[in-house]
Amino acid sequence: MSTTEKSHPFWTFSLSFYARAGVEQACLALQEAGADVNLLLLCCWQGALGRQLGQGQLKELMTATSVWQEEVLAPLRRARRTVKKSLPGMPQEWLLYLHQGLAAVELDAEYAEQILIAGEVTQMKEMPPIYDYESSVAVNLKRYLELLALEPQAGVHVQALLAVCG
């Protein structure tokens, strides 16, 4: 399934949001610190809809995605990063071929996680809309990063995400 064949509101939002200036760098920096990029994007997506996620809801989502993150995405990410490097004795064309294939599989796995997350959110108690979407995004990100013990040192990256929410 190609990126263009994947159709889900969360995925559509994520592709558009991630393409904005500064978002990729902020998300990857937060990922290196321990955040799940899909949960960061969920915080932004739900905030853009004017919804605030409670810490209990975020904990549920973290639990729901933890096995997928640890057993599927993290190994794929490590493998992709490894083949991106030059490995002694391995022809460059094979490394490039494997890197492209692993990147495509990793992207499919990210999509699968988003479907899982969106399904979990759908089953949660209805979140009443909050009309100030920018503050909802900020609240969601702050709550998620507090659960990871990444706030306030992640502030510069959160500001980068908030800067492109408008």
Question: pLDDT, tens digit, for every residue of 90-102?
Answer: 898 999 999 999 9
Question: pLDDT, tens digit, for every residue of 99-132?
Answer: 999 999 999 999 999 999 999 998 887 666 666 7
Query: Measured between alpha carbons, how far is 13 from 137 in angstroms, rounded to an integer?
Result: 14
Of 80, 107, 110, 109, the residue nearest 96 (C-alpha): 80
pLDDT of residue 76: 97
- The pLDDT-based confidence of 18 (bands split at 50, 70, 90) is very high
Whole-model pTM: value is 0.89
Q: What are the extents of the domains in the chain?
A: 3-163
Q: For residues 53 and 131, is the Cβ–Cβ distance under 8 A?
A: no
Q: How is 89-141 classified by DSSP, letter by letter?
A: TS-HHHHHHHHHHHHHHHHHHHHHHHHHHHHHHHHSPPPPP-S-HHHHHHHHH
How confident is the prediction for the chain on average, in pLDDT? 89
Average pLDDT over residues 73-96: 90
